Structures are given as C-alpha cells and as structure tokens.
Chains A and B, each alone.
Chain A
Amino acid sequence: MDVLALLADGFASSISPLNLLIVLIGVTVGIFIGAMPGLGSVNGVAIVLPLTFIVPPGSAIILLAAIYYGAMYGGAISSILLGIPGASTAVATTFDGRPMAQKGEAGLALIVAAVASFIGGTISVLLFTIFAVPLADMALAFGPAEEFALVLLAFTTFVGLGGDDILKTVVMICLGLVLSTVGLDIISGEPRLVFGDLPGFYSGISFLVLAIGVYGVGEVLYTIETSRNAPMVTPARLTFGELRAGLSKMRGMWRTMSLGSVLGFFVGILPAAGATPAALMSYGVAKSISKRPDSFGRGNPEGVAAPETANNAASTGSLLPMLTLGIPGSPTTALLLGGMVMWGLTPGPMLFVEQKEFVWGLISSLYTANLAAVLVNIALIPVFVWALRMPLSVLCAMVLVLCIVGGYAPDQRLHDVWMIAGFGVAGYLLRKADYPLAPLVLALVLGPLMEKSFRQTMIAEHGDLTVFIERPIAAIFVAISVLLFALPLIRALRRGRNGSSRPAPAE
C-alpha cells in the first residue's frame, strides 16, 4: 500500500524529538486557548502565527495544527466548568456538560469530553488518510477555469449553508476580495488601491494583519463587553477511580461516537460548515436516536460525547480541502493556509507531488497530536481549572501586547500594527452588527487565487465566459454554486409564502 508507506515516512519525521516537543507544546497551548472563554482555535492560531518563525515551515504547520487540535479539546473545559463555551465549537457541550458539573459529575464530564474528542479525532484522521490521495489526484486535473469555479463554490457555500444574513455575507466576501486587491497588480505590476499612495499598502494587506485584527483585538473588545460578570468555576476532582468509571460508561456510547465522528468529518469538509454546526448536528442526531431523548439537556454523558466527537472530527475534515485543493474548510484552516503561503508552500494538489514529506509529516502529526492532546488534557485538568480563574483583564492585556508585537514582527512595519488596531475596531463593530467575519478572512486569503485563475482563463479564452460551463468539472462546480446561491432565495420565498419575512438569523 502506497499510502501506508508514505504515512510511515511521515511518522519518521513527525516523531522526531523536535516535532514531538512541538506537538506537546502546541496541544498544551491549544487546550489553554480553547479553555479560556472568548478565545478559540481561530484566535489562538491568529495570535500565535507570527511566532512560528522560530521553527522550520514543516514544524510550524505542525505547531499550528496541534494548537488547532488542542483548542478543540480545551473548548469543552470551560463549557463544563463555567457553563460558557470556550469557543463556539463547544456550545453544544454546555447542554449536558454543565448539568453534569452541577450534579457533581464535572470529573466524569471532562473524561467523557476528552475520550470522545480522541475517538472523533482518530476516526477522522483515518478517513483523512483514506480520502486525501484520491482527492488530490482528482484535483491534479484542474486548470485555471476549474480553480476559479472551485473558489466560487467555496464562497457560495457561505451564502447557501452559512446560516448568516445572505446580504451581509455577500458584503463581507466582496470586502475581503477588495482588500485582497490592495497592492501591486499581479499581471501588470501597477500599484492599485494604495490609498493615498501610502508605501505600507504597496505590498498589499497581509491576511495576518486582518486575522490578528479581527480575531485578536476585535475578540478582546467583544470579550470585554460580553464577559463583564465573571462566572463561577465549578471545582473538578479527577481520580483514577473516576477515570475507570468514565471509560467503562463510554463503552455503551460507541454508536453515538462513531456516528458523530463520521458526520463531523464530512460536515467539516464543507467550506462554510465547520465544527460548530457539526457539533450541533451530532447532538441532535444523538438525541433523536437515543432511547431516552428526554434525558438530554439534564446531564446525559452522551450529550457531551456526541458534540465532542463531531467537533474534533470536523476540525480534521476541514484540513482535507485545504491541503488537497487549496480551499480552506474553516476560518482556522484559512489561517493555516495563509501561514503555508507565507512560508513559501503552495497548498493544493501539487503539494502532494512536490512536498510529500511535508504533507505526510503533517498527516502523521495529527495522529500524534490527537494522542498527546488526550493525555495532556487528562493530566493537566487541575492546571486548566486553576487557569480559568485568571482575571479576564490580565488575559486581555496579554493578548493585546501579543497582537501588537506579533503583528509587527513578520515585516517589521508599524503600518501593520496601525492596520491591526483599525481592523480590530472595524471587526468588533461589524460583528456586533451581525456581519460574519469568516467569509471576510477567507476572501482575503482566496482573493489572489480567484483573480489570477479568472484572468488566466479570460486571457486564454479571449474573454469567452462560456468556458466555465463547457469544461465538465468547472461546470459541475458552477452549477452547485448557482444552486447554493439560489438556496437562501428559495428558502426566503417559501417563508414569504408562509407569511414570515424575517431574514435568517446570524450564527
């Protein structure tokens, strides 16, 4: 088996002492970030991204992926102990995690969350290993027309499946794409949108600046506003007896966990979906197939296991289109993609041909990160419980210092730090007004690829737009895009017929 040989090679690199250490640091930082209310994987990766210059690119992406993974584990900790989710991906975990903690079963809930995350992560990494090569092989046949149609599909998924206000999603996609055109034109080399000929704009707007702005500074402002009354931390004890009892209790949950894992993986692959809807869907499925559906919401451990398997599985699933097609499945994977571009690696099918060592090193590190995360999580639960008592103002001050210095470090320009502050305030206001931020960041990352592929196609075809429906793969993508774009309109029409005209609620 070719895949097994490649994976074995990958393990040779991912279990090197440096990479193992990086995985351990990454998952620990990730669990901490995920556990702190207001910070999630996307904020964690955005804030830590500039610091990854310290290690080679291969190890840097492993570090970020480990943080991503750790954050998925950590999100459950504050959901259970504080009753407020560390990140939106752990919202569904509060439904039963919090009642369990209130009944004095916080330790059991934390064990169920950790083990379920491990199972979700492991099943989805296996699925990832199986699907990665065929998908990359298929994508090798892609030309510029297919690339453009694929990016279009990624954006329309946000419109059709994102669940946010459609008009606001479209505005954010356009805004992100406009920001991606700042700087020198890729074909003619002429400066464009260099507001007032400021030299800082000539090299364009780095996605890092936007990400640190909206997910770092913006999130701090949002947290200050929403978490002013600090909630009480529920004390959690964890003994070997509880661990054993937890593990034996989980034997009866295999159906919920395997369903959650598979569902999470496939929902994670869809660009707009990601871990939050995957977790909510998995919770819904677990409740509907349960023999005691009324016990959900009252402290049923299955209600913790279902979303935790799914959110971990979805986080792995969202890496699949990012690595094989160059299309990120979630805001966090958009940051990972931006990071790879920054380190000179081009995500997409060619990565599997030209950078085999990197790809399989990363895939194998997901196995080690998953194992490390479950062990670190269970071992350090008392430390994370203690850390949750940290005053919010100390956390916010530290995050802001990191945003300033981390934003300055990559290009050493104060211009970028001013931009971070500007994007932070703008991001906070836009978020308050229900404008979704994920399409904005994704559009900035995908903008150059979209423009390049469109212009290349137009030059080759002498401006003939029918190429997008003449080439079969591009035509399929365009057809699905049109369908996804029409979906909210159809829904709105149906609602209109039923007498309601309210727009879709945000998130």
Chain B
Amino acid sequence: MLAADRLIALALMAFSVFVMWYAQRLPVGWEAETGPGAGAFPFWLGLGMLAASGAILARSFVTRPHSGETFIPDADAIPQILGVVGLLLGAIALIPLLGAYIALMLFLLAYLRLMGGHGWLLTGILTLTTPVFLFFFFEVTLKILLPKGVTEPLFYPLYAMFF
C-alpha cells in the first residue's frame, strides 16, 4: 500500500507539472481587458495539486501510513480485474470496426462464459437479448444511432422497417 500510495502521488505530481506547463500556452497573468488570463485557473490549480500531492509523497516517508496493508488484499482478484479491464478495452476498440452490437455480444460472451463461468443457456440468452433490447431502446425509441462498423448494410432492412 505504501508503494502504491507513493506511485499514485508521483503520478499526480507528474500530471500537475504537465497541466502547469500546458496551461502556459495561454496567458497566465493579468490581462488588461479580460482580467485573469485564460491559462491562470488551470495553472494555479495545477500548482495546488502539485503542492498537495508532493506533501502526500513527503508524508509517506515521515509517517509511513498504511505500511502494513496491501493495495489489493485478495491476490486472486487481480487476474479477474485485469481480465475485465482487458475485455472492456477490447470491446471499445472493436466498436468502430465491428459495430456496437457485435462488439458488445463478444464482450458478453467472453465475460459471462469465461469470467463468470456461466452455462451456455444463460450466456446465450443474455448475449442475444441484450443487443435486441439496446436496438429497440436506443435506436427505435430514442432515435440515437449506435455505431455499426462493417455491419451497417445488415441494418438497412431494419431501418426500412422502423424509420
């Protein structure tokens, strides 16, 4: 936990420095017409964040808070968490290519079958009914089109039917 605490504090400090450097692309001081420059707010907030996260880092060497604890107490959970994050990122990456429906079906299939260990019946029902529900809710009811990717032509008959 102590190492994680330090790493997170360091990451926040790095982000603060980046924000301060980036904010200076715009005026940070007082402008005659418009008062505080456009970069002033992010610059000073970045400085505040740098000071506070720096203090957290410094404190970790003095009081050593949480030093007896582990960051993720249950080690068996780590592959599960990484797996879920991987599946999630994979699904988002596939959306522009295969469209939201196929990507989400693959996501549900992998999640329920591999991570959840559910039977084919439950996996099949949820994998097939969820995209149907999403289509009717978002596209037909709310008129919000979800990305289709290469599956776009398959939807032409459905568009003709519902729009």
Q: Judge if A9 is at the interface, Cβ distance under 8 Å.
A: no
**In contact, A408 and B146 (Cβ under 8 angstroms):** yes
Known A190-B26, A433-B4; judge A409-B92 contact (CB<8 A). Answer: no
How many residues of A sit at the interface, in one of the four size bands?
A: 35 or more
**In contact, A502 and B65 (Cβ under 8 angstroms):** yes
Q: Judge if A417 is at the interface, Cβ distance under 8 Å.
A: yes
Q: Which of B14-69 contact A (CB under 8 A)?
A: 15-16, 19, 22-23, 25-26, 30, 34-36, 38-39, 41-42, 45-46, 48-49, 52-53, 55-56, 59, 63, 65-66
**In contact, B35 and A463 (Cβ under 8 angstroms):** yes
Interface string of A194-230 (1 = CB under 8 A from B): 0100000000000000000000010011001100100
Q: What number of A-B contacts does a CB cutoff of 8 Å give?
A: 177
**In contact, B53 and A412 (Cβ under 8 angstroms):** no
Assembly CA distance A463 to B115 (angstroms) = 58
Interface string of A132-171 (1 = CB under 8 A from B): 0000000000000000000000000000000000011011
Known A192-B25, A425-B85, A501-B63; judge A432-B116 contact (CB<8 A). Answer: no
Known A54-B142, A425-B85; judge A394-B100 contact (CB<8 A). Answer: no
Q: Judge if B150 is at the interface, Cβ distance under 8 Å.
A: no
**In contact, A178 and B46 (Cβ under 8 angstroms):** yes
**In contact, B52 and A414 (Cβ under 8 angstroms):** no
Residue picked from B1, B19, B72, B130, most chain A C-beta under 10 Å: B19
Assembly CA distance A228 to B74 (angstroms) = 9
Assembly CA distance A286 to B61 (angstroms) = 42
Residue picked from A188, A421, A503, most chain B C-beta under 10 Å: A188
Assembly CA distance A433 to B4 (angstroms) = 7
On chain A, the residues within 8 Å of B35 by CB distance are 187, 455, 458-459, 463
Assembly CA distance A396 to B23 (angstroms) = 38
Q: Judge if B126 is at the interface, Cβ distance under 8 Å.
A: yes
Q: Judge if B84 is at the interface, Cβ distance under 8 Å.
A: yes
**In contact, B144 and A193 (Cβ under 8 angstroms):** no
Known A193-B23, A393-B116, A421-B92; judge A175-B144 contact (CB<8 A). Answer: no
Known A394-B122, A404-B104; judge A221-B81 contact (CB<8 A). Answer: yes
On chain B, the residues within 8 Å of A507 by CB distance are none
Known A175-B12, A394-B116; judge A401-B48 contact (CB<8 A). Answer: no
Interface string of B65-105 (1 = CB under 8 A from A): 11000011010110011001100110110011000100010
Residue picked from A190, A224, A401, A418, most chain B C-beta under 10 Å: A401
Assembly CA distance A394 to B146 (angstroms) = 23
Assembly CA distance A185 to B41 (angstroms) = 10
**In contact, B112 and A190 (Cβ under 8 angstroms):** no
Assembly CA distance A417 to B96 (angstroms) = 12
Assembly CA distance A8 to B147 (angstroms) = 46
Q: Across the two chains, which residue of chain B brings its CB closest to A229?
A: B74
On chain B, the residues within 8 Å of A225 by CB distance are 72, 74, 77, 80-81
Q: Judge if B138 is at the interface, Cβ distance under 8 Å.
A: yes
**In contact, A193 and B142 (Cβ under 8 angstroms):** no
Q: Across the two chains, which residue of chain A brings its CB closest to B33?
A: A459
Assembly CA distance A53 to B38 (angstroms) = 33
On chain B, the residues within 8 Å of A463 by CB distance are 30, 35
**In contact, A451 and B41 (Cβ under 8 angstroms):** yes
Q: Across the two chains, which residue of chain B brings its CB closest to A459?
A: B35
Assembly CA distance A195 to B21 (angstroms) = 12
Assembly CA distance A433 to B71 (angstroms) = 7
**In contact, A391 and B42 (Cβ under 8 angstroms):** no
Q: Judge if A48 is at the interface, Cβ distance under 8 Å.
A: no
Q: Across the two chains, which residue of chain B brings its CB closest to A408?
A: B146
**In contact, A192 and B8 (Cβ under 8 angstroms):** no
On chain B, the residues within 8 Å of A193 by CB distance are 19, 22-23, 42
On chain A, the residues within 8 Å of B92 by CB distance are 404, 414, 417-418, 421
**In contact, A171 and B122 (Cβ under 8 angstroms):** no
**In contact, B138 and A405 (Cβ under 8 angstroms):** yes
On chain B, the residues within 8 Å of A396 by CB distance are 84, 111
Q: Judge if A304 is at the interface, Cβ distance under 8 Å.
A: no
Q: Judge if B128 is at the interface, Cβ distance under 8 Å.
A: no
**In contact, B118 and A228 (Cβ under 8 angstroms):** no
**In contact, B8 and A429 (Cβ under 8 angstroms):** yes
**In contact, A174 and B71 (Cβ under 8 angstroms):** no
On chain B, the residues within 8 Å of A409 by CB distance are 138, 142, 144, 146
Assembly CA distance A398 to B112 (angstroms) = 10
Interface string of A370-410 (1 = CB under 8 A from B): 00000000000000000000010110111011001100110
Q: Judge if B161 is at the interface, Cβ distance under 8 Å.
A: no
**In contact, B59 and A167 (Cβ under 8 angstroms):** yes
**In contact, B56 and A167 (Cβ under 8 angstroms):** yes
Known A53-B142, A178-B46, A221-B85; judge A185-B38 contact (CB<8 A). Answer: yes
Q: Across the two chains, which residue of chain A brings its CB closest to B4?
A: A433
Question: Nearest chain A CB to B109's CB is how many angstroms away?
Answer: 10
Partner of A174, one of B4, B45, B104, B116: B45
Question: Nearest chain A CB to B36's CB is how many angstroms away?
Answer: 6
User: Chain B residues in contact with chain A, CB under 8 A?
Assistant: 1, 4-5, 8, 12, 15-16, 19, 22-23, 25-26, 30, 34-36, 38-39, 41-42, 45-46, 48-49, 52-53, 55-56, 59, 63, 65-66, 71-72, 74, 76-77, 80-81, 84-85, 88-89, 91-92, 95-96, 100, 104, 107-108, 111-112, 115-118, 122, 126, 130, 134, 137-138, 141-142, 144-147
Q: A181-B42, A400-B111, A401-B104 are in contact. List 7 more A-B contacts (CB 8 A).
A: A167-B52, A174-B52, A187-B38, A193-B23, A228-B77, A401-B107, A432-B72
A-B contact list, 11 entries, CB within 8 Å: A167-B55, A171-B49, A178-B42, A190-B26, A192-B23, A221-B81, A224-B77, A394-B126, A400-B88, A405-B100, A430-B8
